[in-house]
Structure 1
């Protein structure tokens, strides 16, 4: 009779042992240590957006008219970044204006602003052969401001008055 009582206990112990062993076998191994991360590489291309209101007086293309020390410091930092020795492929300076005024005048103003920023960057060491300047006038607005008039319209349209600097690097 002892023998009959032992068989179920021994059988249960064997099943429990098998289950525990199986559970251990399905446990994922600890993650292997990752190789040392490489130093983050700077982006191969980026766009720097500069407020024209911070750089120029309203309706002006002269950097001296409204450019505060913060705006010029921003341009100086950009020039330093562009002349840091990396293989610069291209720098495209693109001027934009708001819709106030004629299309012809806005295109001319945005072009003069792009050229002023380009000239500023070249004076600070950016390679002349790699930099272009173009104006787009008011054809690529960021905001519309349909309801505003007068000074409120000028203020609302400020994001449209900008200079974008599109930078790309080679290999």
Structure 2
């Protein structure tokens, strides 16, 4: 049996040491102007652009003051440059505060922040009828307002002072009718 295995191995090795060279690889095809199917090179493939997604962004009011900070303006400039804003969909501005102060006062402050954002957008050419304001006050924090020991969490409070901006992307199924009424502000938070 050993002789048979040795003879088979010797024949296999002898076959590998032959003078035949492997065929050179075929050159890759040059790129074409339009992509082709990998299954059928004669079929062109249509490129599909990714669908535009709604924009969700925040305008920060880290300082408790009543004016737009440089950081807030930077946030707004990014929003103005977005393709979602150009698409023309509805804009919802949700104003927020930290937990300091009375509930009613926080609702008013959150509405004023959202109105400042609206006014800034309108000054830059955004149609006011696209914009809806919702004042939420301290009801929807994104960070803790206090540490576990009860002391103020200043970074958390600063993060909670914001206006969330949501810009919808209009669809072909829901065209805006001419003369359509603007989106109403949230009636529950009207002053």
Superposition TM-score tier, normalisation by shorter sequence: 0.5 to 0.7
- Structure 2 SS opposite 1:119: helix
The root-mean-square deviation of aligned C-alpha atoms, in Å, is 2.4
One of 32, 39, 49 as aligned partner of 1:32: 39
Name the count of aligned residue pairs: 130
Q: How does 1:1-150 map to 2 (within 5 A)?
A: 32=39, 35-43=45-53, 45-53=54-62, 57-58=63-64, 60-63=65-68, 67-68=69-70, 70-81=71-82, 83-84=85-86, 86=87, 88-144=88-144, 145-147=146-148
Q: Is the 8 A contact 1:76 1:124 kept in 2?
A: no
Task: Decide which structure has greater strand share.
Answer: 1
Provide runs of 4+ in structure 1 moved above 3 Å: none
Counterpart-to-counterpart distance in 1, 2:57 and 2:155: 22
Unaligned residue ranges in structure 2 (runs of 5+): 1-37, 172-191
Classify 1:117/1:148 alpha carbon distance in 2 versus 1 (closer, same or farther; 3 Å): farther
Please list every run of 5 or more consecutive structure 1 residues that lacks an aligned counterpart in the other structure.
1-30
Deviation of 1:37 after TM superposition, in Å, equals 2.9
